[in-house]
Amino acid sequence: NAGVTQTPKFQVLKTGQSMTLQCAQDMNHNSMYWYRQDPGMGLRLIYYSASEGTTDKGEVPNGYNVSRLNKREFSLRLESAAPSQTSVYFCASLKGPPDTQYFGPGTRLTVL
Amino acid sequence: KQEVTQIPAALSVPEGENLVLNCSFTDSAIYNLQWFRQDPGKGLTSLLLIQSSQREQTSGRLNASLDKSSGRSTLYIAASQPGDSATYLCAVGDMGRRALTFGSGTRLQVQP
């Protein structure tokens, strides 16, 4: 039981490049989330998925797209990376009840 | 829009002290409240979760309280140890998506 896994752990991109951050969970959870964490700040919600095939925007969705093709995996795509997207990205899944969120180890992304 | 504030932003204490971390939130219509620990460069570890109907939760040397009507939570750490040094994040879960809104954290350093 690996919990929530994320790949890659680190990534450096140039402005305008695209990439997909992968997230998978093996706990059979329905709800999954993508957050970003900027220096000195708490995490902010980018996108949410209640179940396979459904997604919803969070607080900071601009510049991102997501895909939930199956129950296990929830990917985050940057179509044209910008320096403002330099951040640490965390994926989480929800076990309920009592609705505890479990987080992956994060992806540290730098956009030059 | 929910806002979560944590005070103090940083705290340094000698080993053995009891300490209190504070968290306040602006919208009392929450589903639950979760306290996390984050070590430098690492992911989030869930410490305690309090449902909106509960007043407190305890785990070992940690005790978290919730006063939903006043929009406050405290995390009490008894007999602090150097291994407790980390950033502590407070997060409130919304009623619908169970997505979390985070505070900016309290960075704790326990001196040997």
Between chain A and chain B, how many beta carbons pairs sit less than 8 Å apart? Answer: 61
Task: Report yes or no: A3 at the B interface, CB cutoff 8 Å.
Answer: no
| 8 Å CB contact of A42 and B42 | no
Looking at chain B, the whole-number percentage of residues with pLDDT higher than 90 is 90
The Cα A59–Cα A62 span in angstroms is 9
Q: For position B19, what pLDDT does the model report?
A: 95
- CB-CB contact of B1 with B92 (8 Å): no
pLDDT 10s digits, A65-87: 999 989 999 999 999 999 999 99
Looking at chain B, the whole-number percentage of residues with pLDDT higher than 70 is 100
For tokens 């797209």, the residue is A65
Q: For position A98, what pLDDT does the model report?
A: 75
- Which of A78-106 are b and which e, b meaning 16 or more Cβ less than 10 Å from the residue's Cβ? beebeeebbbbbbbbbbbeeeebbbbbbb
Task: Report yes or no: A23 at the B interface, CB cutoff 8 Å.
Answer: no
- CB-CB contact of B50 with B66 (8 Å): yes
Question: What values do phi and psi take at B84, rounded to 5?
Answer: -80, -10
pLDDT 10s digits, B43-80: 899 999 999 999 999 999 999 999 999 999 999 999 99
- The pLDDT-based confidence of A1 (bands split at 50, 70, 90) is low
pLDDT 10s digits, A12-52: 999 999 999 999 999 999 999 999 999 878 899 999 999 99
Which B residues, 49 through 88, put their C-beta within 8 Å of a C-beta on chain A?
A: 49, 51
